[in-house]
Structure 1
Amino acid sequence: MSLIDQAKEQMAKTVENTKENFSGIRTGRANPALLNGITVDYYGAPTPIKAVASIGVPEPRTLSVTPFDASQAGAVEKALRNSDLGISPNRDGNVIRLTMPELTEDRRKEYVKLAKGKAEDGKVAVRNIRRKTKETIDKAVKDGEMGEDEGDRLLKDLDKVTKSVTDEIDTLLETKQKEIMEV
């Protein structure tokens, strides 16, 4: 596998990570991904909420969380209440409902800033991958393992890949911004 292919692979993982980070940012709609970071104290062990409950979207602004084990509904509700979502869970028997409030303009702008920060983190990671790959190429040229022409060609390819990946992150950011600002 060439250095460029390795860099592409690492950059693709960075893009996926950025997408995951974006999925945790609230928009006006209910999205099960909002609950990804929440853990439930399940018989004394911190367990991801997905492992102890099914999550559904019965209405555009409502999430329903149904624990697989009815006796754990209280623990699931507590985990949701203590999370940083800022949404109060409503328990109806074994079903816990989370109703997403309408986002204010200020809140939307905060979320856009958050999305920009996550996009920038992704770009920084891509640039770090580029820098490490460039150092490897420069070292190989210096040590005589490859010719200067080949090194220059690889650097140009690396720059093309880096640009396309950062453009992809920018596109993801634009999409997320539109999603957030949509009323």
Structure 2
Amino acid sequence: MEQRWKDAEKLIYTLSDPATSSNHDCVVVLNEHHAAAYTADDQIDEGQEMTIYNYLDKNIKVEVSVVYKDANLGYLVFKTLNDYEFEVVPEVCEYGSVPRPYHQLAINNGTFTWSTGRFVKTDKYHIRVFGNTDGMCGDVIFDDYGSFAGIVTKKEDGKIVIVKSEVLYYDIGSGPGDDVELTESDYI
């Protein structure tokens, strides 16, 4: 497996303890203090504190608070508590032509599963992009270079629907690192 995909796997946390559970929802690191995940759970609200678990290193548990919930698009944004900083942060996908290839990361039966597909179109607001692969809500999408492109939040008309990474970064008011600013030209 190429190093860029191994590095992408380091960004994945879960909402359930990997040492005791076989079902996992992916949580992806956004920057040093934020992460995001798909949600359909009406029981999780803004301000709620919880623990997320590093999938590769079962000893890493991070206390977080839900700082943003978008029930319409189906995702949560978390902020770390106690000044915790994620050691590995993603590069963000910064180009926007459609169609183009992507790589989809899921956790199935207790292991990472990679698949490939193509972005096929965007919605009229350029918030979501549609992909041609199957998969589950919560899967994480990367571009060909291993940059974070978004998370799967639903299926529609036989396609997966991906909330773009730029939307998630907008919700936290920053880019993936201190030196990155997204501009309108970065949107698909």
State whether TM-score is above 0.5: no
**Which structure features the higher share of helix residues?**
1
**Which structure features the higher share of strand residues?**
2
Q: Which has the higher contact order (CA 8 A, sep 6+)?
A: 1
Provide the TM-score with structure 1 as the length reference.
0.21
Provide the TM-score with structure 2 as the length reference.
0.21
